Chains A and B, each alone.
Chain A
Amino acid sequence: MAMTMSQKRSTFSVFRYFVLTIWLLIVAFPMFWMVGTSFKPDKEWFAWPPVYITENATMRNYLIVWANINEYTKADGAHIDEKTGELSQYTQSLQRPWVALRNSTIIAGIATTFAVLFGGVLAYGVSRHNIISEGKMFQLLMLRMVPPIVLIAPISLWYRQIGLLDTITGLVLLYFLTSLPYAVWMCKSFIDEVPREMEQAAEILGASRWRTIWEIVLPLVRSGLVATFLFILILTWSEYLLALLLSKAEVLTLPVELSKYQGSTEGRVYGRQAALSVGITIPLIFVGLIIRKHLARGFSFGMVRR
């Protein structure tokens, strides 16, 4: 017997919810596990059968990683100097997340600001006066798409020569260059949407070039620029390779700091890693959700029309 239209529709609806929920579980499980582990006491990190929801939830991991609390025991692998009663240098080295957070914020913040400012101006020129041909705009993508690993060794040696190794400036310059292509393309997609007629009208009415840009174009693309800024912030914040190889001690960023927890002498400390991971991830998720409607633009290079 043939199904009626509404039966068909409801079968599809059930199928849809079924598939989507399966993928939802796959997406949510690692997140759930990360957050869950960060609240687990040490014994439950490796327990078998695994502990899904801990009954002994504790803030200890967070306190140790983020709050510089030294209620260590020998079992944690902490070394408290018995004479002075202070944490040994080794343990202190595990308490740098705030420094790393500061570095990450400064580096990602400055690089992103410059990329968006510069990218915005360039995008305006491209959108309105064609100062760069479309072909060149695509060639700009090379900066992003060629894997950085192929040039990082000589860059590191060169940075050593000119004193940029292990400095904020050094990382900012490279992040600026690698995020510029996305910045220009994304800004351009927003500027393209502002009707030229509005600028022309302002011009006819006698507004100067700057005033037109300042009072007509800028207000209309402001939210777009904010989206671009946050989008690039996500990319630079999570960058790992350049940060790992161009920073030695001074300018550790959060992803690099996290990787120091792996394979350090005290073995695997899943709970601490998770507590740090949560701290790294939350700002990004927050930022990403703000700009979720614009995410597609960052990557689409004007290919998606609306």
Chain B
Amino acid sequence: MTAEQTIGENLPLTGRAASRAQGIRRFKWTVLTPFFALLIFILMPALIAQVFFSLNHFSIFDAGDDDTWRSYLNASEWIGLELFIEVFNDERFWNACIRSLLFASGSTLGCFIIGFGLALLMYRPFRGQALYYIFFILPMLTVPIVIAYTGEMILYQNGPLNDVLSRITGLRVDAQFLYKKEIALTTIAFLEVWNWTPFSFIIMMAGLAALPQEPQEAAKILGASKWRIFWEIQLPLLRPVILLCLILRFLESMAEFPKTWGLLQGGPGSATETIPVYIFITTWQYFDISYGAALSYVVLVLMVAIVAGGIYFLQREKKNLDEMYFSRPQQSE
């Protein structure tokens, strides 16, 4: 690709092209070597240790203060796949999975619908657009853990939210947003929506602004209604951006930790115990490193599958998009 466009190709000197290719290869490996070194140095040992811990019964207490590999080895006992069988029979784990999936899909949809709605209202210039835009991106710029604690100040029973709702409705609203099992997860999902709607909003705004105008104008001249233009022209053209929005948000919500943990630590009961929270509790509160490792491994495999799926979709959309843009000049009538 690139070689075609460089002047080196036009010259009959194959030697020069070859040295050029060699230079690029050298460049490539100079850049990539430190990166792979880091992966091998940090992530590989962790992955191997994870396998080791999940196949052994290991307790950090047996290892004592002596932090050497030898003491870790002495403190562990081979038990094979026992822990994995335990994970698959662990109702708490599956409940956590269901909660995570509900939380992630609910908040993703919420973010998307609100963000897209706002973007549709705002993408054409109007008075005050810039001001609204600045305000609307603020939640994304706040630190998640700050949102958790500010959320608590607002949501607790004698907090301002109940008061505001009471004043608006005229009734005495007295909801326990945080300490009622049935709604705690929903409350956190709303915080997540508050936090990340700007993300969908920004991407959809950019997507809408980048739409080609010609097809829309043509449809308008031919007498298509606004709805029809939206459904049959804008929406299909926006498909890559929409997918991008949904996939990224879903993946990030699956890993959401600061708000869930900061607000409720998995409680009340286990009402907000999502996958990250459950792993955290197992490993860092029960100090059950082996079981935590087995859990993590199952989650790792599940998540890698989900992420790979998401990435596959994104990649396919990108490819279609590239082809479309590449062939557009020839297509124009």
User: Which of A50, A125, A177 is within 8 Å of B38, CB to CB?
Assistant: A177
Task: Count residues of A near B (Cβ-Cβ below 8 Å).
Answer: 95
Closest Cβ neighbor of A148 among chain B residues: B255
- Chain B nearest CB: distance from A273 CB in Å? 5
Q: Which of B19-67 contact A (CB under 8 A)?
A: 24, 27-28, 31-32, 34-35, 38-39, 42-43, 45-47, 49-50, 53, 67
Summarize A's interface: helix, strand, loop or mixed.
Answer: helix
Q: Which of A131, A261, A285 meets B31, CB within 8 Å? A: A131
Q: Among B32, B46, B50, B325, which residue has its beta carbon within 8 angstroms of that of A305?
A: B325
Known: A50-B160, A125-B28, A259-B262. A273 touches B149 (CB 8 A): yes
Residue A69 interfacial (CB < 8 Å): no
Known A203-B7, A292-B137, A305-B321: A174·B158 in contact at CB below 8 Å: no
B135 touches A240 (CB 8 A): no
Question: Across the interface, do B206 and A304 meet the contact criterion of CB distance under 8 Å?
Answer: yes
Residue of A52, A289, A295 ringed by the most chain B CB atoms within 10 A: A295
Contact segment of A54-62, A81-89, A90-98, A138-146? A138-146
Q: Does A28 contact B (CB under 8 A)?
A: yes
Per the bound structure, the CA–CA distance linking A204 and B10 in Å amounts to 12
Q: Does A30 contact B (CB under 8 A)?
A: yes
Residue B153 contacts which of A23, A37, A174, A288 (CB distance < 8 angstroms)?
A37
Distance A180 CA – B47 CA, assembled complex (angstroms): 20
Tell me if B138 and A31 are in contact (CB < 8 A): yes
**Of B78-86, B87-95, B118-126, B216-224, the one with at least 4 CB within 8 A of chain A:** B118-126
Q: Does B303 count as interface, using CB distance less than 8 angstroms?
A: yes
Closest chain B residue to A276 by CB distance?
Answer: B146
Q: How many A-B residue pairs have CB under 8 A?
A: 281
Bitwise, A182-219 to B at CB < 8 A (1) or not (0) is 00000000000000100010011000000000000000
Given A147-B254, A154-B49, A277-B149, the answer on whether A174 and B7 have CB atoms closer than 8 Å is: no
Name the A residues within 8 Å of B207 (CB-CB).
303-304
Find B143's partner among A20, A196, A281 (CB 8 Å cutoff).
A281
A45 to B159, CA, bound (A): 9
Contact B203 A23 (CB under 8 A): no
By the criterion CB–CB under 8 Å, are B150 and A34 in contact? yes
Q: Is the Cβ of A158 less than 8 Å from the Cβ of B46?
A: yes
Q: List 14 A-B contacts (CB under 8 A).
A: A19-B117, A24-B136, A27-B136, A145-B310, A147-B255, A151-B46, A151-B300, A161-B68, A203-B6, A241-B276, A255-B145, A270-B153, A273-B149, A303-B207
